[in-house]
Amino acid sequence: MKWDTHSFHIVALYLTIKNSIDKIKAFGHNLKKR
C-alpha cells in the first residue's frame, strides 16, 4: 500500500504542475492578445 500511496502523490503532483503550466500558458496567451 505504501507504494500505491507514493504513486498517487506523484500523479497528484504531476497533475497540479500540469494544471499550473496550462494556466500560465493561457495567461501568456491573453497577454499577447492585448
Per-residue pLDDT tens digits for 2-27 = 668 889 999 999 999 999 999 999 99
Of the chain, the end-to-end C-alpha distance in Å amounts to: 50
- The full set of domain ranges for the chain reads 1-28
**pLDDT for the residue 3:** 65
Distance (Å, whole) CA 7 – CA 20: 20
**pLDDT for the residue 27:** 94
Distance (Å, whole) CA 5 – CA 13: 12
Q: What is the pTM of this model?
A: 0.61
Nine-digit cell at 9?
502523490
